Amino acid sequence: MNSMQPKTWSMAGGIQLAANKQQSLQGPIRTALLPPQLIVPVTQPDYSQPQLCVQVGERVQKGQPLVCVLSAQGLAAHAPAAGIVTAITTHAVPTASGLPELCVVIDTDAADTSWHKLPPLDYMQSDIDTVIQRVAESGISGLGGAGFPAHQKLRSSLGKVDTLILNAAECEPYLTADEALLRERAMDVLDGCLILLRITGASRCLIGIEDNKPQALAALRSHAGDPRLHIRVIPAKYPSGADRLLIHALTGTAIPASTLPIDCGVLCHNVGTVFAIARAVLHGEPLLSRITTITGAAVQQPANYEALIGTPIRELLLQSAVDTTRLSQLVCGGPMMGTALANADLPVTRTANCIIAATEPELPLPQPAQACIRCGFCAEVCPVQLLPQQLYWFARNREHARALAHNLADCIECGACAHVCPSHIPLVQYYRATKAEIAEANDKQQRAHHWKLRFDAHQQRKAVEKVAEEQRRAERAVLASQKQQSGTAATLSARDAVAAALARVQAKKAAGDKLASGSVASSNVADDNKDSRS
């Protein structure tokens, strides 16, 4: 490890929030109890129809594939525990859209401990494609929130990346899943970093961690022996853990919204994702579980759980001794960027890093929005130095072009502006809705352009076919004329032959008549001579 603390760059704006992290860090990571039923989402990242490897009524082993991945964009899914597939149906999941997704429902069998593992892989001796394929077969996606397939991200980075960044900031309040993982399993996380260095060919790995995580920082320092691993401590400030902000804080490189970090030579991964990659490559374990923080004032035993994917959130709340009489709302994720849940029957997904069971005083319901007083607080805390007030007016009036001209696309939707707004204006919701409207308009424009190209191509094909048909018609006319002329000539030849035959017959007949006439005349002369001699 590089012992010197190199330069870091400060973040513009941002806010200091009450951490509320110690509640769930009082003990070690707990293993969640096996639920009687698992609801495993199998929807693909591109929302294509997944090709399932199982059917209703089939018994599955732990780790057995549920989805056969055929495309480069596909994401594998596995049975988190042994049991029987009882349904393949749509089910609500904790996402911002609230739309149901295709899920495989498994009634678990606690007595069946059979495993469906892959053999360990020597990533130093294996070729890079083999290692990436292992990541793909293991169904690993980003566990920090975006959920992008890890293997696709790795393939797109080949030959482009010089710097690997491990995002260990975990800046949002209440979230402690990554910190707990680093405290107890830092060695596995760093092994995952070395695997990614081997895959990408990057020369260094920068580990960004906030200064309010001393135990996790100590665990990293005690295991980071490779000289390519550099630990960099940044001030605890929200939202320093956003990928683009963390990249700027560690490297000084500002990455605009129109550019991917990979295009700037940087690849960023979350702690949980890197840990899952290490388990898949070194131990042959597919992604079956994740660390999820269960916290909030309505639970009496907040903790971090290693929960199987598909575990109903209600099961984790019961294990944390939830007090339903005090429960006001459930939030998946943090209080700033999380998603409010309609009920607790939704399953734990790959991106469900935290469940907050909040009371009313803890997370009060939003107050009615008042008129903007132009205080400017929103601009002061914006971490990407936008003008939230202007964007609000453009969004409210649906002036999309002006909103884009004021860099709406750069907004990371952290919610800092809405948090400090004294008028309680839901600024992020306005920005998010405007982005959706712009995306929909662009999609319509692209589809219209696509159909116009298809229409033009159709018209061109029709014109070509018309010319070709006219040519074929002209050729048929020429052939018909030639055939007619040939037929006429043949008819004339036949008539001439018949006429000649008739002429020959008539000539022959005339010759016969003449001969017969001569014979009769000779006979008469002979008779006359005979009579005269008598």
Whether the pLDDT of residue 492 is over 70: the answer is no
The answer, yes or no, to whether residue 291 has pLDDT greater than 60, is: yes
Q: Report pLDDT digits (tens) over 400-409.
A: 999 999 999 9
Q: Give the per-residue pLDDT at 125.
A: 95
Distance between CA atoms of residues 525 and 529, nearest Å = 6
Confidence at residue 2, expressed as pLDDT on a 0 to 100 scale: 45
pLDDT tens digits, one per residue of 230-268: 999 999 999 999 999 999 999 998 888 788 999 999 999
Strands 30-31 and 303-308 turn out to be parallel
Q: Which of 14-28, 55-69, 414-428, 503-517 has the lowest mean pLDDT?
A: 503-517
What architecture does CATH give domain 22-358?
A: 3-Layer(aba) Sandwich (3.40)
pLDDT value of residue 20: 96
pLDDT at 524: 53
CA-wise closest residue to 75 among 423, 272, 397, 349: 349
Q: In this structure, are residues 409 and 432 in contact, taking their beta carbons and an 8 Å threshold?
A: no
Average pLDDT score over the chain: 90
Cis-peptide into 239, omega within 30 deg = yes
**Quick one: average pLDDT of 423-435?**
95
Give the pLDDT confidence score for residue 477 in this predicted structure. Answer: 85
- pLDDT per position as a tens digit, 176-199: 999 999 999 999 999 999 999 999
Per-domain boundaries in the chain: 22-358
DSSP character string of 292-350: EEEESTTBSS-EEEEEETT-BHHHHHHHTTB-TTT--EEEES-TTT-EEES-S-SBP-T
- The average pLDDT across 402-427 equals 95
Strand partners, 38: 106
Q: Residue 290 pairs with which residues in a beta bridge?
A: 307
Residue 256 makes CB contacts below 8 A (sequence gap 6+) with 410
Q: What is the mean pLDDT of residues 354-365?
A: 95
Structure tokens at 181: 């993982």
Place of tokens 């678990």: 108
Bridge partners, 232 (sequence order): 208
